[in-house]
Amino acid sequence: MLVDVSKTHRYHIYDKIYNISCMVTIITTTHVQQRIGEIAKNIDKTSYIVTNKGEGKVVMLPYFHGCDEFIAEYLEDYEMFMNRNSLDKRYKQSIDSGKSDLVI
C-alpha cells in the first residue's frame, strides 16, 4: 500500500462511458514529498487528490498522448469557476444596461 490507510481516504470512481474503474486516493502534501517515486510508478492505476491542511489543492492524473485538449478545457472551466463572481457582476451590468442601439 502506498500510504497509511488511517491518513488516506480511498474512493472508487466508475466511468460508465468507458466501463472502467479508477481508484482515487486522497493524500497530503507531506505524503507526496515522501513518496513521489511510488506515486509516479502507480499513476496509471490510481489518481490522486492532494490536500494541504485538509483542503484539496491538486489533482494528479495519468498523462496520455492527445490529452492536451482535455487539459485546456479543464483550465478554461477552472478559470471561469474562479472568476464566477466577477463574471456574474459583469453580466448583470450588461443586462441592466438594456438593449443596445447599435444596428448592424
| CA angle (15 as vertex; 11, 17 as ends), nearest 5 | 175
Return the closest-CA partner of residue 49 out of 76, 29, 71, 70. 29
CATH number of 1-62: 3.40.1620
Q: Report the distance separating Cα 38 and Cα 27, nearest Å.
A: 13
| The three cell numbers locating residue 21 | 474503474
Reported as type and span, the H/E element at residue 81 is helix 68-82
| CA angle (49 as vertex; 43, 52 as ends), nearest 5 | 130
Taking a C-beta distance cutoff of 8 angstroms, is the pair 71, 39 a contact? no
* pLDDT value of residue 25: 86
- Percent of residues, the chain, with pLDDT higher than 90: 18
pTM attached to this predicted model: 0.56
What count of other Cβ atoms lies within 10 Å of the Cβ of residue 49?
A: 15
**For the chain, what are the domain ranges?**
1-62, 64-97
pLDDT digits (tens, 9 = 90+) for 41-72: 988 888 899 999 989 899 888 888 888 888 88
